[in-house]
Structure 1
Amino acid sequence: MSSAVAPENSSSPASAIIADTSRGYHILKIDGYLHSKETPTGTDLKSRQFTVCGYRWRIRYYPNSDRKDSADYIGLFLKLDEAISRKVKVQFMFSFIDSMDMKHPSLALLKAYTFDSQSRSWGRGRFIKREDLEKSNHLADESFTVRCDIAILKKFRVKVRVRAPVRPRPAPG
């Protein structure tokens, strides 16, 4: 591969590598939080199925985590709710929002994960300690709202950019 150096006063080409992504989100409101705490540890409550980025998903809410050693936490997982034949690279984030109008997201969990035919669910069994949730402003009228943002990388592409001509530098002196 050869490279050429352009004269200092000519236009210099430049390029950018751009990630083409598809993005979307789903909002899940947990209404009746006190009743959900009666759910046994390791048992999830699932959102309705929703479509984001061309795939079907569900949010799995574990009121008492997914494991006994973290039963004093709530857990949140993203589940790819369809069979797939090839891997899907996903970046997703769970965050609390103050209300359905999506203001003030906070306490976010951001994760990049590759879903495949054998592994179609990932999340955090220790998303937030129940005691901390109950003391927070996120819980109001026995409910809280979670937003799940999802981004899927489609492909990388190269875009050629041309910079403005570079003016010759004055000679020192």
Structure 2
Amino acid sequence: MAAPHIYKPVTTTASTCALETSRGKHVFKIAGYNLYKGHGVGRFIRSSTFFVGGRGWSIRYYPDGHAGNENRPFVSVYLELMDQKQGTAEVRAVYNLGLVDQLNGTSKVLFNPVVPKAFSRASPAWGARWFIRRTELEASSTFLRDDTIVIECEISVIVTMPRRVPMWRSSSRIRLSVHVVLATRSPVFKAELCGPLRDKERQNIIVEDMQPTVFSALLHFIYTDSLPSMDDLHRGENREFVKYLLEAADRYAMDRMKIICESILCKRLDLDNVAATLALADQHQCHKLKDVCIQFIISSNGIEEMMASQGYLYLKRACPGVTVEILEKASKSSKIEYTERSLDELD
């Protein structure tokens, strides 16, 4: 007699594969639509360069069509990778192209390829030869208004982090493989990698005195144009980490990253950290952050408590000129308040 079959519960496992993307949108306004008619088949007007996924892009507008007489009845629009000459690495992206309704501000997508396109030095531009028939565009009172059209492009760049970053690390030094994106995003990296003083024998660069986590965040910004998530950090740790990121951004002339860090720190001031934050702002020429810190100090009810803190003692030693500026502005503020009180008493 056969043994009874024993049913065992099925073990279920799951996994997820998800590509990281960096998304952006650019609006290209073309005033003087009729002036560009007759520009010539294959000739285009280019938008300003915008950055998504750490790469530069632009929109090409062909008023008389992309190429060939069969395209002449159409307006052509293409998306172009602008920094392809800096290297041969291709960039994969999904994008769509549309026209903006100038009455209600909505966008109508006219070209939406589903499959990602590979932009490279060999193929820097992809787009729609038959974007819209010219007669249809000119008959529209919403897309063509006051002799102006507005083209909108949404793009999602598939982010590929460099496979060999970092090659070797310690708490104070990071060895980094040469990568073209670094040179295109940071003038400091560009000088180190491509400048006349570079070491031609060296195939990598060494970053001194920076924590690996900070440099990893810098790389994340270079490739995605955004800061990494810091949700797992406590508020105090988060604030200190942003300070390190600001120092890194200033060191590598990453102006946009520096502005973002400034904005975050401006919103997280308190009596315990304002003096140290002010010293940081002064040392790295963060003028907006410096002004916000000084205004916070002179308008605070606990200014005496702040001036007794360790942060203020450090500020006096490291940035004596700033403490003079605080006292001068505080004095002026007191005089203004005193004058206002005197006028109130006279009334």
TM-score (norm 1): 0.77
- Residue 162 of structure 1 corresponds to none
Q: Which moved more, 1:103-112 or 1:76-85?
A: 103-112
Q: Return the letter of the residue paired with 2:107.
A: P
What is the SS of the residue equivalent to 1:15? Answer: coil
- Residue 111 of structure 2 corresponds to 109
- The answer as to whether partners of 1:27 and 1:100 remain within 8 angstroms in 2 is no
- Residue 131 of structure 1 corresponds to 135
What is the SS of the residue equivalent to 2:9? Answer: coil
Structure 2 Cα separation of the partners of residues 55 and 22 of structure 1: 10
- The answer as to whether partners of 1:65 and 1:125 remain within 8 angstroms in 2 is yes
Q: Return the letter of the residue paired with 1:135.
A: A
Structure 2 Cα separation of the partners of residues 104 and 146 of structure 1: 11
Structure exhibiting the larger radius of gyration computed from Cα positions? 2
- Residue 37 of structure 2 corresponds to 37
Structure 1 Cα separation of the partners of residues 14 and 103 of structure 2: 43
What is the SS of the residue equivalent to 2:135? Answer: helix
Structure 2 Cα separation of the partners of residues 75 and 22 of structure 1: 26
Residue number among 118, 123, 136 corresponding to 2:122 in the alignment: 118
Return the offset for 1:18. 1.8
Return the offset for 1:13. 4.0
Return the offset for 1:24. 0.6
Deviations 1:130-150 (A, max 9, x none): 100011221111111111111
Structure 2 Cα separation of the partners of residues 71 and 63 of structure 1: 9
2:12 is the counterpart of 1:7: no
- Residue 64 of structure 1 corresponds to 64
Residue number among 87, 95, 102 corresponding to 2:90 in the alignment: 87
2:165 is the counterpart of 1:149: no
Alpha-carbon spacing, 1:73–1:6, altered in 2? closer, same or farther (3 Å): farther
Q: Return the letter of the residue paired with 1:142.
A: D
What percentage of aligned pairs have identical amino acids? 28
In structure 1, the gaps of 5 or more residues are 156-173
- The answer as to whether partners of 2:52 and 2:157 remain within 8 angstroms in 1 is no
- Point out the structure with the larger strand share: 1
In structure 2, the gaps of 5 or more residues are 1-6, 161-347
Kindly indicate whether structure 1 or structure 2 has the higher relative contact order, using CA contacts under 8 Å at least 6 residues apart.
1
- Matched residue pairs, number? 148
Q: Return the letter of the residue paired with 1:39.
A: H
